[in-house]
Amino acid sequence: MLTPHAASGPEVEIPEMASARLDVVVARISRRGDTTVTIPTPPSAAGHLRTLATPSSLRSAVASLREASVDVIAYASTTSGYAIGHAAEAKLIRRLRHMAGVPVVTSGLAATQALKTFDVHRVALVHPPWFDEDITDLGARYFRDQEIDVVTLTATPLPKHPDRVRPKQVIDYVSDHADASTEAVFIAGNGFRAAHTIEELERRTGQLVLEANQVLLWSILAATGAKLRIDGYGRLFRAAPHALED
């Protein structure tokens, strides 16, 4: 797992969903990159993420994962994809794959592929309360640029610290705010641990429910050809995974 975020998320949820059959190594991206000069932090969260989502900033973290002999690298940051846009994200994947010598997947492009697999044209995009307005707007643009219409929801009543969010709170919020005009729900943010809400939300809403770490695992299985059976965690794992397009 490659991430610019301090909050735990994929390293907790992915082994849970895979019944501990996957070993997860986490490399958190340093603002220092490969140089001795610290990269200045831009004034916005999106600007900060754009600064970190460059090959030069990622090189040290990718090298550490190569040394760990991983089979695949998952860039676990939905917001980084939002900040740079889907075209730049696809280009970054190609650069990282060249650097690492293994497949590379990302949360945003995995979510897009999952939505397209189910022929979803309109999605409810659910963001945690720590996402700011700029990130929310970029998230809507990210999917609309890929011809997927979006209804955005920010779960402001929930706790603003990721470790304090409980599944029931997520279930109640999404159930109360689900839009009948949408065909699917995407719970974004890899630190927004909501994998345990998926089955109940699909039952309550009648819609496909996706979650950032769930789609990341689905994409990992596609990229590696791993034949792991994932019990529960939504309709997504009952569909054959498809490799992301270059």
Q: pLDDT at position 205, please?
A: 95
Alpha-carbon dihedral angle through residues 43, 105, 85, 122, given to the nearest 10 degrees:
-120
Give per-residue pLDDT as tens, 108-162.
999 999 999 999 999 999 999 999 999 999 999 999 999 999 999 999 999 999 9
Measured CA distances, 163 to 135, 140, 158 (Å)? 21, 25, 11
In the prediction, which pLDDT does 158 show? 96
Closest CA to 58 of 40, 73, 78: 73
Q: Does domain 110-211 have CATH number 3.40.50.1860?
A: yes
Is the pLDDT confidence value at 35 over 80?
no
- The radius of gyration of the chain from alpha carbons, rounded to an integer in Å, stands at 17
DSSP string covering 30-90: PTTTTSSSPPPPPSSHHHHHHHHSSHHHHHHHHHHHHHTT-S-EEE--HHHHHHH-HHHHH
- For the chain, residues classed under CATH 3.40.50.1860 are 110-211
Instruction: Check pLDDT > 80 for residue 195.
Output: yes
Q: Does pLDDT of 244 surpass 80?
A: no
Element (H, E) at 106: strand 104-106
Question: How far apart are the C-alpha atoms of 115 and 121, rounded to whole Å?
Answer: 8
pLDDT in tens, 158-172: 999 999 999 999 999
Instruction: Answer whether residue 39 shows pLDDT above 50.
Output: no
**Residue 182 pLDDT grade (very low, low, confident, very high; cuts 50, 70, 90):** very high
Q: How far is CA 72 from CA 24, 66, 186, 191, 219, in A?
A: 10, 10, 23, 20, 10
